Amino acid sequence: MAHGPDKRFSLNTGAQAERMTSAQAHAAGIDAGLRAYMLKVYNYMCIGLALTGAVAFATSSSPAMMQVIHGTPLKWVAMLAPIGMVFFLAARVHAMKASTAQAVFWVYAGLMGLSLSYIFMVYTGASVTRVFFITAGAFAGLSLYGYTTKKDLSGMGSFLIMGVIGLLIASVVNIFLESTAMQFAISVLGVLIFAGLTAYDTQRIKSIYYEGDGTDVAEKKAIMGALTLYLDFINMFLFMLQLFGNRE
């Protein structure tokens, strides 16, 4: 009889250990799935940036292409088409196949390359390269912070979006004012706002991961996450280029 309680204790301890092991295995499975999902987001974003850079450089290297795109009314198509595609993809991604959403993202990245080819006319190639790597380093650190921090960054979201709207309004106003001081302030605020958005968006993209998503849904989430971070990177790069780029 003296061994009864010990036996029950042993059985209870074994059951608890089994439940703990099962919970740990489940958590490890979620972590592995999340890492794979975030890696896919970053891969899509990096390929998109590489495609944009290649198209921009190739276009800038052809005087004929530059004349057609930036010397004719076609420049408005090159400027506005990428914006239209972002809204189209955001509105219709739920109804698309993942392969279609991916194709739209690649087309968008290519159009952005055509649109951004002008930077090689305005800034020296060396300064474009230097600012790109500065932006890449800053982006990596900010995104890592957003991924790893335990602090809830959701409260920043509405404030940062309001900041983006303010930047757009200020930029339009400065087209008419042509104020150098105002342009400098816009560039500084632009860097700060998109730096904050990089951390915020990374945390948000991480938070919408769900291990029960089907392959198609998970793929589309990764594409939209890549698009979001791509936009954060491009905008931060352009504002930093205005601050630190050497003009031709």
pLDDT digits (tens, 9 = 90+) for 178-236: 899 999 999 999 999 999 999 999 999 999 998 778 889 999 999 999 999 999 999 99
- pLDDT, residue 15, reads 54
Residues 6+ apart with CB under 8 A from 201: 146, 225, 228, 229, 232
Mean pLDDT for the stretch of residues 16-36: 63
Residue 47's pLDDT is 98
User: Exposed, middle or buried by CB within 10 Å (0-12, 13-18, 19+), for 116?
Assistant: buried
Please, are residues 102 and 223 in contact by the beta-carbon 8 Å criterion?
Answer: yes
- CA–CA gap between residue 128 and residue 218 (Å, rounded): 35
| pLDDT band of 7, cuts 50, 70, 90 | low
The pLDDT score that the predictor gives to residue 78 is 86
CA neighbor of 202 nearest in space, from 39, 28, 87: 39
When pLDDT is cut at 50, 70 and 90, the band that residue 12 belongs to is: low
Q: How far apart are CA 117 and CA 119, in angstroms?
A: 5
Phi-psi region of 64 (alpha: psi -120 to 50; beta: other; left: phi over 0): alpha
Residues in contact with 181: Cβ distance below 8 Å, sequence separation at least 6, in sequence order: none
Four-point Cα dihedral 208, 214, 216, 218, nearest 10? 20
